[in-house]
A and B are shown apart, each in its own frame.
Chain A
Amino acid sequence: MSNDVLTNNGKLPAEKAVGKSAAMTEKLYQLGVLLSLLLLCAVMTALSPRFLTMDNLMNVASQAAVSAIVSIGMFLAILTAGIDLSVGSVLALSAMMMGIASDRWGLGPYASILVCLGSGALLGLVNGLLLTKLRLPHPFISTLGMQKMARGIALFVTAAAPISMFPDEIQYLGNNSIGQVPVSFILVAILYVGMYFFLTRTSTGRYIYAVGGNKEAARLSGIKVNSILNLVYTISGLTAALAGLVLAGRVNAVYPLAGLDYETDAIAAVIIGGASFFGGVGSIANTIIGVLLIAVLRNGLNLLNVDSAFQTFAIGAVIVVAVAVDVLRQNVMKSGR
């Protein structure tokens, strides 16, 4: 891309001056998050002989997959200084629609999968339009509305009954492995690498950073801010639906309470991964580390037979520490100015 306005992950000229020291602290933070993950793995290894076995690591991979996919959309939303609180409900409704397509309408597996992904993308687009056309003041509100509406419809469409027993094609992503590696995790790897290149190597990707950094400046430099926002929420709906497909395969069932509270885990992963709530700052590569950190924490504490009340507490504590470190980093960046 040859647009001079946007360099260094879409940072605008005003931020260029601090670009270097910012990039340094950014890198340090990234290294820190990765090291925390490795440290956590080392601690779990020391505490439980079961942790560092191939079987268990592949368990963690398959357990992290759904959250990892949901977190992609959440990352994009947070990158644009927004949020998507509807991901868990969109996951559930898209998966329910797939169940209905397959079970009630008698559609084939691939058509049913398309119904799932299409539903998710459509719900995401509605989120975007509520924000850009209806001009609801903040995506917190539009997506909170969608969270409740989508969950309500998901409960309504089958009178809350689950639908189970899907054909192998629908179960493939969530239930199969290649060798020992879960297909779902291979999908996660492909999605993250693809998203990394999309965000850093395409103009659209850089516009997303620009919109997050400073909406007004982005608009003045000719970026169609509303189209970018619509795109971001559509992608978020789509990734939530894809996560629903994986979850449906994993448990061979769809149920209306699927994905309940998944938005909080996704927000936690993105924030632990160092994305800023103020938008424009963050890396998708760190989001996956945030996802894995939470997954390893849960898995390790399960292996150690630790009460789930403490698991919930521990994840909360990790979020607070991560954001505290983030604030420190922001201060360092400011003093560098």
Chain B
Amino acid sequence: MNRRSFVTALMAGAFAVATLPALATFSAPAAAAEKVKIAVVLKTLSSQYWKIVAAGAQAAADKNNVDLIVLGPPTEDAVEQQINMVQDVLAQKPDALIFSPSQPDTAVNVITKVRKAGIPVLLVDTGMPEKFTDYASFIGTDNIAAGKAGGEALLKVLKKGDKVLLLDGAPGNPSMTQRCDGAKEVLEAAGIEIAARQPAYSDREKAYTVTQNVLQSTPDIAGVFAGNDEEALGALRALKQSGKEVPIIGVDANTDNLKAMLAGDLYGSIAQGNYDMGRLGVEKALEIIAGKTVDKRIDSGATLITKENAQELLDFRASIK
């Protein structure tokens, strides 16, 4: 392309940018009747866990006649895309933002901007770095407590001196690390040996490989605690393959895992109150918009799910939407 056509192209672009806003002012429809608008930006929408958070928020929004915007990047790794989404919902001037940072450190700048625009921020599932305190409320699982609950569930079926494998998340993922820390604390206190603690990146396939490898060095693994349910299923596959039946506990109570429990393959899972995170997020946001103060830390709870209560949870989920 020669210089002239480049300049022409630039001019055409500049012209478009200059004239389109003028057109927009003509075409912009008059503001619709003022309905409370709440924006939700999650880590992703392409996993069941986050879809349930979104469903909880949507149910509360429908009940309270709230206009809800729900966004989330295609994967939890798409950190910058999540930041962009926060920027993009900010442009829509919501009355409150419900947010779950994929990488808390990276979100400080953009959340500071949201706060400068006077929009209250409620965090769900994952908090911001400790030094950042300018949020209205953090609604989420106490991950250490969830890990402890998982550890205690394993203790019911293990005996002193047994070897346990801990499957961690991606290095630097605080909630996965805290869950494993919680489980480790309870297990070690009861005299259980932690044979290995390996990152499995919250991923089924990676957990499968890690478990296979650990079984090479420690064939007498007697139990597994996985930081999430995908990892639990990966571990299950590796253990089944080598003909071992050991109790596995995951976290999240995903549908696949509930089915595996009912089939007698999987011991259990710690259910996070993810539906309640979404629901409470919207309800507390409405309280804040109405001028009330809410607790800065709200525990959305964690429940042990085993074969006994798995069907109940499946039915509850089927009743959603």
Contacts and interface: CB of A to CB of B under 8 A. Distances in A.
B9 A55 contact: no
Contacts of A302: 71, 84-85, 88-89
A26 B88 contact: no
Contacts of B73: 308
Given A253-B108, A308-B45, A311-B74, A162 B91 contact: no
A56 B110 CA distance: 14
Interface residues of B, number: 52
B29 to A, nearest CB: 6
Contacts of A144: none
Nearest to A8: B2
A309 interface: yes
Interface in B4-20: 5-6, 9-10, 12-13, 16-17, 20
Contacts of A305: 69-71
Main secondary structure on chain A at its contact with chain B? helix
A196 interface: yes
A209 B72 CA distance: 41
B77 interface: yes
A224 to B, nearest CB: 26
Nearest to B22: A52
B16 A38 contact: yes
B40 to A, nearest CB: 10
A122 interface: no
B260 to A, nearest CB: 26
Interface in B88-114: 88-89, 91-92, 103, 105-110
The SS class assigned to the B binding surface is: helix
Given A34-B13, A52-B20, A307-B45, A255 B105 contact: yes
B23 A45 contact: yes
Contacts of A57: 17
Interface in A147-187: 155, 159-162, 164-165, 175
Nearest to A171: B109
B108 to A, nearest CB: 6
Nearest to B69: A305
Interface string A1-36: 000000001000000000000000011001100100
A111 interface: no
Contact of A308 (B27, B44, B129): B44
Contacts of A215: none
Nearest to A155: B171
Residue of A200, A253, A305, A308 with most chain B CB atoms under a 10 A cut-off: A308
A256 B172 contact: yes
Contacts of B321: none
B87 A63 contact: yes
A253 B106 contact: yes
Given A298-B81, A302-B85, A308-B44, A41 B105 contact: no
A34 B14 CA distance: 12
Given A34-B13, A305-B71, 20 more contacts: A27-B1, A30-B5, A45-B23, A49-B24, A52-B21, A52-B24, A59-B87, A160-B170, A162-B105, A175-B109, A250-B83, A251-B109, A252-B108, A255-B172, A257-B77, A260-B78, A261-B78, A286-B1, A302-B84, A303-B88
